[in-house]
Amino acid sequence: MSETTTEALQYRCDGPEQAPVLVMGPSLGTTWHMWDRQIPELTRHWRVLRFDLPGHGGAPAHPATAIGDLTDRLLVTLDQLGIDRFGYVGCSIGGAIGADLALRHPHRLASLALVASSARFGTADSWRQRGVVVRTNGLDPIARSSPERWFTPGFAAAQPAIVEWAVQMVRTTDPGCYIAACEALAAFDIRAELGRVGVPTLVLVGAEDQVSPPADARVLVAGIPDARLALVPGTSHLAPVEQPAAVTDLLVRHFTTSWQSGYEQTGPHAITPPVPKPQLTPPPPPTTAPTVVTGPVAAIAASAEQPVATGGTAAAAYEAGMKVRREVLGDAHVDRAEAAKDAFTGDFQDFITRYAWGEVWNRPGLDRHTRSVITLTALTARGHFDELAFHTRAALRNGLTPEEIKEVLLQTAVYCGVPTANSAFAVAQRVIREETSPHA
């Protein structure tokens, strides 16, 4: 199998082969079946291509730790099919892919819809902590709690078959690919770049979405010059599943009225469907009538100012060090340290950011996993148990499992002494319990 084939995404095509192409991107933990209820109406107008994220829905488990990597794999897939220009709608992480397309490949997009999406999804710390939970406990705790995040309580109670379908989708996802997607979302932040999105954009959000709340949708609408907001009442995160008719109507109206000119000159080639693959049984249609949606409301504001880059070797080392420091220790820890620094401690904080994090931790000779092993050993040996606590958190983020941390501390017990290792075990046990709890 060639490298290009390996990097392509699993996909499915529906609709007339010569119609304009509409690409649909899924949410994290779902498959292309989350769009099943939109397909009958959308295929009256478009050739619809749905894709699965790596390791989802039986797709090959090739993890992608950056949104840009997922975008590139999607474009490889489309290029193989001869699709140059297309409309795009994505939900949650699928929306992040759409925004990345608009920023890096605007000539490919005819129109864009972002469903339950954000310019920044929560905090980097929360996504990395979720990765730690999955690495330690597997996906079952995340799967069992997914309906609470995805659906309103009334819908979940009325539709037990859909709830079970949702749980099984997450449960059958490859854990490594799920963790990689969490890393991609942790690093995703386009708030300062929204003003460069030049394609007509529909921002659609459920009024009761707690994952990507309406406030996040309003940030998108305020920053994207040509954006409109659609708020779906009585709906949570997976609006296309919970309110299929309402979402379908909004998508049809948006794409039929905002498709940018140029498609006639760059129309798609015929798409050859892939070899059929076993499919999950799609969820039954909701028995409750879809909520009537109020018309999209326009809200446009100036984009955020672009950050000004500073020059010089010291400044570059500081910038690189702060990036690594935040990725390893977490935003919350670094923010506390930055808030606490003053004229007396500021130079020291700058020093460790440049030297420890910008130079040593950034060297290519060792990976972060190995550096965490060394750091845990050194801190235990010297009895620096306060720092051992936050470096245990860092080790979990850097990919060490609790079992591996235990082995590191057992090794230090032999060479650094049992009393020292005993104290280290107490610190690490507390941190691991906090970080690996699904409800932490």
Which of 34, 329, 53, 12 has its CA nearest to residue 176? Answer: 53
What is d(CA 10, CA 111) in angstroms, rounded to the nearest whole number?
23
Mark whether 35 and 130 lie in a shared domain.
Answer: yes
The DSSP string of 12-49 is EEES-TTSPEEEEEPPTT--GGGGGGGHHHHTTT-EEE
pLDDT in tens, 310-325: 345 778 888 888 988 8
Mark whether 320 and 267 lie in a shared domain.
Answer: no
127 burial level (CB within 10 Å; 0-12, 13-18, 19+): buried
Domain boundary among 298, 324, 349: 298
Mark whether 262 and 113 lie in a shared domain.
Answer: yes
Mark whether 274 and 156 lie in a shared domain.
Answer: yes
What is d(CA 208, CA 384) in angstroms, rounded to the nearest whole number?
45
pLDDT confidence bin for 261, thresholds 50/70/90: low
- Write down the pLDDT at residue 224: 97
Q: What is the mean pLDDT of residues 135-157?
A: 94
First vs last C-alpha separation in the chain: 42
64 within some domain: yes
Mark whether 227 and 91 lie in a shared domain.
Answer: yes
- Write down the pLDDT at residue 271: 36
For residue 290, pLDDT beyond 60: no
308 within some domain: no
**Neighbour tally for 298: CB within 10 Å:** 10
304 within some domain: no
pLDDT in tens, 415-437: 999 999 899 999 999 999 888 88
Residue 14: strand pairing partners: 48
Find out whether 13 and 48 touch, Cβ atoms under 8 Å.
yes
Mark whether 149 and 244 lie in a shared domain.
Answer: yes
pTM: 0.76
- Write down the pLDDT at residue 295: 37
Mark whether 376 and 290 lie in a shared domain.
Answer: no
Mark whether 286 and 339 lie in a shared domain.
Answer: no
When divided into structural domains, the chain yields a total of 2
What is d(CA 369, CA 399) in angstroms, rounded to the nearest whole number?
6
The CATH number that applies at residue 412 is 1.20.1290.10
Q: What is the mean pLDDT of residues 222-232?
A: 95
Mark whether 102 and 12 lie in a shared domain.
Answer: yes
For 64, the domain range is: 3-298
Find out whether 268 and 7 touch, Cβ atoms under 8 Å.
no
Mark whether 162 and 225 lie in a shared domain.
Answer: yes
- Write down the pLDDT at residue 440: 43
